[in-house]
Structure 1
């Protein structure tokens, strides 16, 4: 992975409380000890933890992100919602949008697009998730689905400077199954070519992989040409497991 950064992005999902900072602190201590360069570690945590964790990490090289946001820029009558402006003011610099778990709960491509535009407007870097189901993969629809998700999700988005595209095959999330070397190489290449064509190669394309990433398979994954980093789910809820992933990337 010969890019400006290797991205190690943790998606904690519905996990953690104030005491869970010990996990991030152990990772922070490790990174400071070995003086790891050219990496960017981001923890996307529940909204309740953003402000608390970002304050503790002010002098750290670890960044905090959110896991979703509302599509509106300003305040409004939306009980239980939080928008990108509020997320930014709480201390987050990143936000995950388009995750398959949110798509299942009703996030359409159009809604995701509006969220992305709002997040960019409020100076958040978007981790834009795309991916096909197992049924779609078996029907050879992967490229068609990814192309549609990119076209609709990034509609009227003029720049990739604030976008990290995360390829997460739905059938790989939490299953322990990852695509073959051939499948992943071909899909990452397709995504890169699609983005280069759409944005006329004006901006560098950052593509990461997510889906059952762990210390055992990370060496296979870093061998895939074109991957800039990883979106890590369950393994990010353990300091040791997350550190082992980083270690195995550099061994």
Structure 2
């Protein structure tokens, strides 16, 4: 077995019912792609998007979940509720959640465990800030986040890891190929010490992935796909990234 190739789109707090027309276009042009495709819209669109996808091989996911299965948590959504709405995946520990909501590695691990219990695949995000990169702390930060955020129950069937250097998200900047390769090789080795089938876990790169740079990024060792932000909102852009991943083999 080898890691599955995955093109994942994170719509963040963007999109409405009218935007589902982009899904129709994506299904029409990439419904039979050889790589896996995942789109994570705002929670209010999950059910409608799942119905829109129909029988096409495009998975739908959430962008966060609560660690508890239910209860007095106004405004939150549980992993089981995401599953019930049609989701198969959930993004956890994104830098925007860590920064805007103060989420810790322990919080992410608890949410990931809840996702596993609900039958969801957790897309666990890690990444360093610009200050941490400049201080030479990148691998220390990534190692700490992996150790603290990935539960012991993780395996290739329920977990995906996404490396998103915080300073490259939405900025148009990307690390060098050597920097991406270093982090992805480090993650693979780090996971091998804790997860039996670490060699089969998909490792995604995220951080200003665009049609123009996708092919080059997908040529880097241990990069099994991408977690795409803004470029996933348009079928033409996301479709070009999917095509680049398909061509990477």
* TM-score computed with the length of structure 1 as normaliser: 0.93
Distance 1:40 1:242 in 2: 13
The answer to whether the 8 A contact 1:64-1:93 is kept is yes
Q: Deviations over 1:17-73 (max 9, x none)?
A: 1111111110110014xx432x11110010100111112223111111000011102
Q: Who is 2:239 aligned against?
A: 243
Q: Who is 2:79 aligned against?
A: 84
Distance 2:191 2:201 in 1: 7
Number of matched pairs:
246
Q: Who is 1:6 aligned against?
A: 5
Distance 1:200 1:245 in 2: 31
Distance 1:202 1:99 in 2: 21
Unmatched tracts of structure 2, length 5 or more: none
Residue 101 of structure 1 aligns to a residue whose secondary structure is helix
Flag the 1:88–1:102 CA change in 2: closer, same or farther, 3 A: same
The answer to whether the 8 A contact 1:3-1:228 is kept is no
Q: Does 1:170 align with 2:166?
A: yes
Unmatched tracts of structure 1, length 5 or more: none
1:92: how far off?
Answer: 0.3
Q: Who is 2:130 aligned against?
A: 134
CA RMSD of aligned residues (A): 1.6
Distance 1:93 1:201 in 2: 21
Distance 2:221 2:198 in 1: 20
Q: Who is 2:230 aligned against?
A: 234
Q: Who is 2:41 aligned against?
A: 45
Runs of 4+ in 1 over 6 A off after TM superposition: none
The answer to whether the 8 A contact 1:159-1:203 is kept is no
The answer to whether the 8 A contact 2:24-2:52 is kept is no
Segment drifting more, 54-63 vs 40-49: 54-63
Q: Who is 1:29 aligned against?
A: 28
The answer to whether the 8 A contact 1:50-1:91 is kept is yes
The answer to whether the 8 A contact 1:177-1:212 is kept is yes
Distance 1:50 1:198 in 2: 33
